Structure 1
Amino acid sequence: MQTSPAPARAVIAGGGIGGLAAAVALHRRGWHVTVLERAASLAPVGAGIGLAPNALRALDVIGLGDEVRALAAWQGDGGLRTPAGRWLSRTDARAAASRFGGPLVLLHRATLIGLLADRLPDGALRTASPAALADRGTAGGRPARITTPDGELEADLLVAADGIDSALRPALFPGHPGPSYTGMTTWRLVTTVPGLSFAPHETWGRGGLWGTQPMKDGRIYAYAAAAAPEHAHAPDAEAEHAELMRRFGAWHQPIPEILAATPAEAVLRHDVRHLDRPLPAHHRGRTALLGDAAHAMAPTLGQGGNQAIEDGVVLAHHLAPGADVGPGLAAYSADRLPRTSAVVAKAARVARLAVLTSAPAVAARGALMGLAGRLGPGLALRTFDGIADWRPPARPYADRAPGHPGTRPATPRTDRPSPGR
Structure 2
Amino acid sequence: MAPTGRAVVIGGGIGGLTAAAALHQKGWAVTVLERAPGLEPVGAAISLAPNSLRALDVIGAGDEIRDLASRMDDGGLRTPSGRWLARTDADALARRFGGPLVLLHRATLVTSLAARLPADAVRTGTPATVADPGDATRPARVGTPDAELEADLVVAADGIRSAVRDVLFPGHPGTVYSGFTTWRLLIPVPGAGFASHETWGPGRIWGSHPLKDGRVYAYAAAVTPAGGRAPDDEKAELLRRYGDWHDPVPAILAAARPEDVLRHDVHHIAEPLPAFHQGRVALVGDAAHAMPPTLGQGGNQAIEDAVVLAHHAGDLAAYTAARQPRTTAISRQAVRAARLNMMTGRAAGAVRNAALAAVSRAAPLLFLKGFEGIADWRPPQAPYAARKTPDGDHPKEHTP
- Normalised by the shorter chain, which TM-score bucket? over 0.9
Once the two structures are TM-superposed, the CA of residue 397 in structure 1 deviates from its matched residue by 5.9
For the pair 1:177 / 2:138, whether they are aligned, the reply is no
Q: Is the 8 A contact 1:89 1:369 kept in 2?
A: yes
Counting aligned pairs with the same residue, the percent is 63
For the pair 1:37 / 2:14, whether they are aligned, the reply is no
Aligned twin of 2:397: none
The one-letter code matched in structure 1 to 2:41 is: P
The one-letter code matched in structure 2 to 1:261 is: A
Aligned twin of 1:372: 359
- After TM superposition, list the pairs within 5 Å mapping 1:324-343 onto structure 2: 325=314, 328-343=315-330
Aligned twin of 1:249: 243
- After TM superposition, list the pairs within 5 Å mapping 1:138-177 onto structure 2: 138=135, 140-177=136-173
- Whole-angstrom CA distance in 2 between matches of 1:274 and 1:59: 25
- Whole-angstrom CA distance in 2 between matches of 1:200 and 1:414: 21
How has the CA–CA distance of structure 1 residues 52 and 134 changed in structure 2, closer, same or farther, with 3 Å as cutoff? Answer: same
> Residues 120-157 of structure 1, C-alpha deviation per residue, up to 9 Å, x if partnerless?
1121100011112110000x211000100111000000
- Whole-angstrom CA distance in 1 between matches of 2:118 and 2:203: 47
Aligned twin of 1:64: 61
- Whole-angstrom CA distance in 2 between matches of 1:416 and 1:249: 43
The one-letter code matched in structure 1 to 2:19 is: A
Instruction: Let me know the Cα RMSD of the aligned residues.
Output: 1.6
Of residues 384, 390, 394, the one that matches 2:381 is 394
How has the CA–CA distance of structure 1 residues 135 and 87 changed in structure 2, closer, same or farther, with 3 Å as cutoff? Answer: same
Aligned twin of 1:270: 264
> Residues 202-229 of structure 1, C-alpha deviation per residue, up to 9 Å, x if partnerless?
0000111000001000100000011000
For the pair 1:412 / 2:399, whether they are aligned, the reply is no
Q: Is the 8 A contact 1:184 1:351 kept in 2?
A: no
Length-normalised TM-score, structure 2: 0.96
The one-letter code matched in structure 2 to 1:9 is: R
Once the two structures are TM-superposed, the CA of residue 258 in structure 1 deviates from its matched residue by 0.5
> Residues 310-343 of structure 1, C-alpha deviation per residue, up to 9 Å, x if partnerless?
0000000112xxxxx3xx1010000000000001
How has the CA–CA distance of structure 1 residues 398 and 209 changed in structure 2, closer, same or farther, with 3 Å as cutoff? Answer: closer
- Whole-angstrom CA distance in 2 between matches of 1:317 and 1:127: 26
Q: Is the 8 A contact 2:69 2:104 kept in 1?
A: yes
For the pair 1:74 / 2:102, whether they are aligned, the reply is no
Once the two structures are TM-superposed, the CA of residue 398 in structure 1 deviates from its matched residue by 5.4
Once the two structures are TM-superposed, the CA of residue 411 in structure 1 deviates from its matched residue by 6.8
- After TM superposition, list the pairs within 5 Å mapping 1:230-245 onto structure 2: 230-235=226-231, 239-245=233-239
- Whole-angstrom CA distance in 2 between matches of 1:380 and 1:7: 43
- Whole-angstrom CA distance in 1 between matches of 2:289 and 2:349: 29
Q: Is the 8 A contact 2:289 2:331 kept in 1?
A: yes
Once the two structures are TM-superposed, the CA of residue 113 in structure 1 deviates from its matched residue by 0.4
Q: Is the 8 A contact 1:95 1:377 kept in 2?
A: no
Once the two structures are TM-superposed, the CA of residue 377 in structure 1 deviates from its matched residue by 2.8
Of residues 98, 102, 121, the one that matches 2:99 is 102
Once the two structures are TM-superposed, the CA of residue 7 in structure 1 deviates from its matched residue by 6.2
How has the CA–CA distance of structure 1 residues 7 and 289 changed in structure 2, closer, same or farther, with 3 Å as cutoff? Answer: closer
Q: Which range moves more in the overlay, 256-265 or 40-49?
A: 40-49
Q: Secondary structure at the match of 1:188?
A: strand
Once the two structures are TM-superposed, the CA of residue 412 in structure 1 deviates from its matched residue by 2.8
Q: Is the 8 A contact 1:206 1:362 kept in 2?
A: yes
Give the unaligned 5+ runs of structure 1: 320-324, 400-409
Q: Secondary structure at the match of 1:84?
A: coil
Aligned twin of 1:201: 197
> Residues 288-329 of structure 1, C-alpha deviation per residue, up to 9 Å, x if partnerless?
00000000000000000000000000000112xxxxx3xx10
- Whole-angstrom CA distance in 2 between matches of 1:202 and 1:85: 10
- After TM superposition, list the pairs within 5 Å mapping 1:99-138 onto structure 2: 99-138=96-135
Of residues 362, 384, 389, the one that matches 2:371 is 384
Aligned twin of 2:90: 93
Q: Which range moves more in the overlay, 288-297 or 361-370?
A: 361-370
Q: Secondary structure at the match of 2:163?
A: coil
Q: Which range moves more in the overlay, 221-230 or 389-398?
A: 389-398
Length-normalised TM-score, structure 1: 0.91
How has the CA–CA distance of structure 1 residues 397 and 210 changed in structure 2, closer, same or farther, with 3 Å as cutoff? Answer: closer
How has the CA–CA distance of structure 1 residues 340 and 7 changed in structure 2, closer, same or farther, with 3 Å as cutoff? Answer: closer
Alignment size in residue pairs: 393
Of residues 221, 225, 247, the one that matches 1:225 is 221
Q: Is the 8 A contact 2:91 2:390 kept in 1?
A: no
Aligned twin of 1:402: none
- Whole-angstrom CA distance in 1 between matches of 2:3 and 2:218: 48
How has the CA–CA distance of structure 1 residues 416 and 189 changed in structure 2, closer, same or farther, with 3 Å as cutoff? Answer: farther
How has the CA–CA distance of structure 1 residues 297 and 397 changed in structure 2, closer, same or farther, with 3 Å as cutoff? Answer: closer
- After TM superposition, list the pairs within 5 Å mapping 1:288-367 onto structure 2: 288-319=282-313, 325=314, 328-367=315-354
The one-letter code matched in structure 2 to 1:50 is: S
Once the two structures are TM-superposed, the CA of residue 109 in structure 1 deviates from its matched residue by 0.2
Q: Which runs of 4+ in 1 moved over 4 A?
A: none
Q: Is the 8 A contact 2:94 2:389 kept in 1?
A: no
Aligned twin of 2:398: none
- Whole-angstrom CA distance in 2 between matches of 1:6 and 1:126: 24
- Whole-angstrom CA distance in 2 between matches of 1:398 and 1:230: 41
- Whole-angstrom CA distance in 2 between matches of 1:120 and 1:240: 38
The one-letter code matched in structure 2 to 1:262 is: A
